[in-house]
Amino acid sequence: MSYIPHTESDRLKMLEQIGLETVEELFQDIPESCRYPELNIPDGLPEMVVKKRLKDLSDRNQSSDDALWFLGGGLYRHFVPSVVDAVLSRGEFFTAYTPYQPEVSQGTLQALFEFQTMIAELYGMEVVNASHYDGAAAMAEAALMALRCKSGRKEIVLDEGIHPEYIEVMETYLAGSDALMRKGRPDDNSACFITANPAFTGEIRDLKALAEECHGVGALFIVHADPLACGLLESPGVCGADIVTGEGQPLGIPMSYGGPSLGLFATTKKLIRKMPGRVVGRTMDAGGRAGCVLTFSAREQHIRREKATSNICSNQGLMALAAAVYMAAMGKQGIRETARLIYDKTAYASLTLGQLEGFSVDQGSSCFREFILSCPSPAADIADALQKKGIFPGLALSRFEASEYRSAYRENDLLVCVTEMNSKDEIDRLAKALTAAAKGNM
Amino acid sequence: MEIRYAKSHEWAAKEGDLYICGLSEYAQEKVGDIVFVELPETGAEVEQGAPFGVIESVKAANDLYAPLNGEVAEVNEGLEDEPELVNSSALKDGWICKIKSDDDSFSALMSEEEYKEFLKGQDE
């Protein structure tokens, strides 16, 4: 197939058809000064010079690989096995568009099916869809789904510790609807109660107690669960969640300046017809051979727009594939060990940093991956000072303004993030750097 | 038992104090294999011609429109496990719900003959 759309003779034929001779005549309605403006572009450069110039520019970036990195707050630095990129870069996957046509997309469909299956196991849920844009979109879709399931109830109740930016995304999703968002505890006006496990600030929640409270007032229980933490903790499904959402970036997806990431969405069989997004199912063809197809698509946006369960018309196929390859490569044991490492290192870091003079860690319950370090001076100042030395000690929570949906963070609060990538030595170096910064010796 | 039809292809017939409703033979054939029926809730107030449920077939999801004004008195819970009953027995085992209604909204529906006439115009 030729990718050159038309030849010179094609062009002449087209011009002839409309009674013109030249392309210039075709554009004569455009003011002459705008027609073929001189562009101020320098002359071409040799490839060697271009490469050198680009490298010099990219060397000015600070990469998490070169820095002492304790920055989290939504996207995390985790180990990505090489096999993830190797599979992802295959042309069949890399260039594939939306897999509507099972006869040409078996590979993509099967990969999504495997992805769904593995996420279902991690979350302890019966059904998983083929993904959303990111964790925030998934959470907002879950809120909309709860409103569909509980007609007559208009309230979305938020637990403490939902990511402030996720709340903004939900506000956008709910704008124009008569749904009401509030923080607090669910009651019999609530369509759902949403919690995050671990919370934005790292605390691990008692999901079973929350599920009971929710179901007691007839609201759906929605858990935004970190998939890696699920390798260690009891799954949200076992604890009684009706919908589980998550950010899949920790599963083999690099931070990449903030995206693309991967929205996870799971629910129970009972609620499958209220679920947004697409679901890949496995079936048999007329010859008895196994094959994968999109299923439960009768209410999909492309079939029945006005009654669609969601206006989301794409999913993150390639990122879902990355997560599937990651989960397959790590295995059950690998994911569990990674989660354990993160948990233990977080505990070590919070103990170590909390004992530094002037610093403290107040969180009583145990934390996963993140915790709030209370600093002796504004956290943003300390972070700024350290970043100049290539040390990223965490996220200054003063970045998030107080909102009606959650309590304000204190100016001195630093959200420190520890993953399996941080060695004990790195944590000790951070402790020294923080002490020095607090004394103004940086 | 007199059976009357709505233009949106639901049927209704009087059964004791209630009106039993379902989807017409013509409609079940048109939508194809039915995989799910979203039933109205018992006790719900329904309005003739307003959507009160959904029929989902392998092809698409279609609204069900209430053939009568009134209150839903009973729904066919058998459809939750066997939605295909609507295909195999649209006028009997595949009934959708029973509505407590008045005779006026029933007589506003088409008679069987009128519906047959109406269908002749549908496929042209």
Chain segment A322-347, per-residue pLDDT in tens = 999 999 999 999 999 999 999 999 99
Q: Is A299 on the interface with B (CB under 8 A)?
A: yes
Instruction: State the Cα–Cα distance between residues A416 and A91, nearest whole angstrom.
Output: 38
DSSP-derived 3-state class of residue A346: helix
How buried is A214 (Cβ within 10 angstroms: 0-12 exposed, 13-18 middle, 19+ buried)?
buried
Q: State the pLDDT at residue A99.
A: 66
State how far residue A287 is from chain B, nearest Cα, in angstroms.
Answer: 20
User: Among candidates B47, B64, B62, which has minimal Cα distance to B99?
Assistant: B47
Residue type present at position A257: Y
Q: State the pLDDT at residue A315.
A: 83
- Give the nearest chain A residue to B34 (CA atoms): A298
Residue B14 main-chain phi, psi, to 5 deg: -80, 135
Q: ipTM more than 0.85?
A: no
On chain B, the residues whose CB falls within 8 A of the CB of A298 are 35, 56-61
Mean pLDDT of chain A: 92
Q: State the pLDDT at residue A98.
A: 66
**In chain B, which residues have pLDDT < 50?**
none
Mutate to test the interface with A, among B31, B33, B36 (most CBs of A within 10 A): B36
- Using one digit for the tens of pLDDT, what is the confidence trace for A235-256? 999 999 999 999 999 999 999 9
Which residue has tokens 């030849």?
A7
Q: State the pLDDT at residue A418.
A: 98
On chain A, the residues whose CB falls within 8 A of the CB of B58 are 298
Q: State the pLDDT at residue A176.
A: 87
Using the beta-carbon criterion (under 8 Å), do B63 and A307 form an inter-chain contact?
yes
- Output A104 or A392, whichever has higher pLDDT: A392
Given A273, A303, A307, which is nearest B36 (Cβ)?
Answer: A273
Region A276-299: mean pLDDT is 88
State how far residue A266 is from chain B, nearest Cα, in angstroms.
Answer: 20
Using the beta-carbon criterion (under 8 Å), do A298 and B59 form an inter-chain contact?
yes
Q: State the pLDDT at residue A346.
A: 97
- Give the nearest chain A residue to B57 (CA atoms): A298
- Split at pLDDT 50, 70, 90, the class of A190 is very high
Q: b/e map of B39-54 (b: 16 or more CB within 10 Å)?
A: bbeeebebebbeebbb
Using the beta-carbon criterion (under 8 Å), do B57 and A307 form an inter-chain contact?
no
State how far residue B60 is from chain A, nearest Cα, in angstroms.
Answer: 4
Q: Is A304 on the interface with B (CB under 8 A)?
A: yes
State how far residue A298 is from chain B, nearest Cα, in angstroms.
Answer: 4
Rounded to 10°, the helix A106-123/A317-354 angle is 30
Q: State the pLDDT at residue A61.
A: 87
pLDDT surpasses 80 at A366: yes
Residue type present at position B110: M
Using the beta-carbon criterion (under 8 Å), do B59 and A304 form an inter-chain contact?
no
Q: Is A298 on the interface with B (CB under 8 A)?
A: yes
Using the beta-carbon criterion (under 8 Å), do A298 and B63 form an inter-chain contact?
no
- Split at pLDDT 50, 70, 90, the class of A415 is very high
Instruction: State the Cα–Cα distance between residues A164 and A381, nearest whole angstrom.
Output: 21
- Using one digit for the tens of pLDDT, what is the confidence trace for A118-147? 999 999 999 999 999 999 999 999 999 999
Q: State the pLDDT at residue A300.
A: 67
Task: Kindly report each contact of residues A111-114 with a partner whose C-beta sits within 8 Å and lies 24 or more positions away, as own/partner.
Answer: A111/A317, A111/A320, A111/A321, A111/A324, A112/A280, A112/A292, A112/A315, A112/A317, A112/A320, A112/A321, A112/A324, A113/A280, A113/A281, A113/A282, A113/A292, A114/A324, A114/A328
DSSP string covering A1-51, please?
-------HHHHHHHHHHTT-S-HHHHTTTS-HHHHSPPP--PPP--HHHHH
Q: Helices in A271-316 by DSSP H: which ranges? A: none
pLDDT surpasses 80 at A441: no
Using the beta-carbon criterion (under 8 Å), do A299 and B63 form an inter-chain contact?
no
Q: In this structure, are residues B110 and B7 in contact, taking their beta carbons and an 8 Å threshold?
A: yes
pLDDT surpasses 60 at A1: no
Q: Taking the model in full, what pTM does it have?
A: 0.85
The proportion of chain A whose per-residue pLDDT surpasses 70, expressed as a percent, equals 95
On chain B, the residues whose CB falls within 8 A of the CB of A303 are 60-61
Q: Which region among A240-249, A259-268, A395-404 has the lowest average model confidence (pLDDT)?
A: A395-404
Q: Is A208 on the interface with B (CB under 8 A)?
A: no
pLDDT surpasses 80 at A406: no
On chain B, the residues whose CB falls within 8 A of the CB of A307 are 54, 61, 63
The proportion of chain A whose per-residue pLDDT surpasses 90, expressed as a percent, equals 76
pLDDT surpasses 90 at A402: no
Q: Which region among A44-48, A298-302, A406-410 has the lowest average model confidence (pLDDT)?
A: A298-302
If you ran DSSP here, which 8-state letter would residue A332 be given?
Answer: H
State how far residue A299 is from chain B, nearest Cα, in angstroms.
Answer: 6
